[in-house]
Amino acid sequence: MKNVDMREPTFMVLAALANGRKHGYALIGEAGELSNGRVKLKVGTLYAALDRLQSQGLVASAGEEVIDGRLRRYYELTDSGAMLLEDEVSRLEGNIRQAKARLRLRAAAGRVS
């Protein structure tokens, strides 16, 4: 197992694609929803991430359509992308479990809020 070290925007892209194919621009909105408006994906970040993830085989293109004269290029998560996302999720879960346990000890020991 290699080091993943995924940043938030990248995580958002994968997560947004986890429930079905989407086109690039739509991901910007999805990332906003996923994070309660915290993360506003920038286009530069988005397409760079998409390229990178494709070259790593985590995301694949999934057809194009023309809607109202505007091109939409779709992307989907590959199986390997889904697996990576799952791994990342469990890794994070483990980390936060530990962090919370320790924070609880700290709160118990030192009171205050």
Partner DNA sequence: CGACCATAGTCAGTCTGTCGATATATATCG
Partner DNA sequence: CGATATATATCGACAGACTGACTATGGTCG
48 binds, among DNA, a second copy, none (CB under 5 to 8 A by kind): DNA
Q: Does residue number 49 form part of the binding site for DNA (CB under 7 A)? A: yes
Contact flag: residue 47 with DNA (CB under 7 A): yes
- Candidates 70, 110, 111, 112: give the one binding DNA (CB under 7 A): 70
How far apart CA 22 and CA 27 sit, in angstroms, is: 7
- 31 touching DNA, by CB under 7 A: no
Task: Tell me how far apart the 2 most distant CA atoms of the chain are, in Å.
Answer: 63
> Do 18 and 67 contact (CB within 8 A), yes or no?
no
- 62, 72, 76, 82: which one binds DNA (CB under 7 A): 72
Number of residues that bind DNA (CB under 7 A): 30
Residues with Cβ within 8 Å of residue 34, at least 6 apart in sequence: 12, 15, 16
Binding of DNA at residue 7 (CB under 7 A)? yes
8 binds DNA (CB under 7 A): yes
Contact 59, 77 (CB under 8 A): yes
Find all residues with CB under 8 Å of 92, minimum gap 6, and list them.
none
Interacting residues with DNA (CB under 7 A): 3, 5-10, 23-26, 41-45, 47-52, 67-74
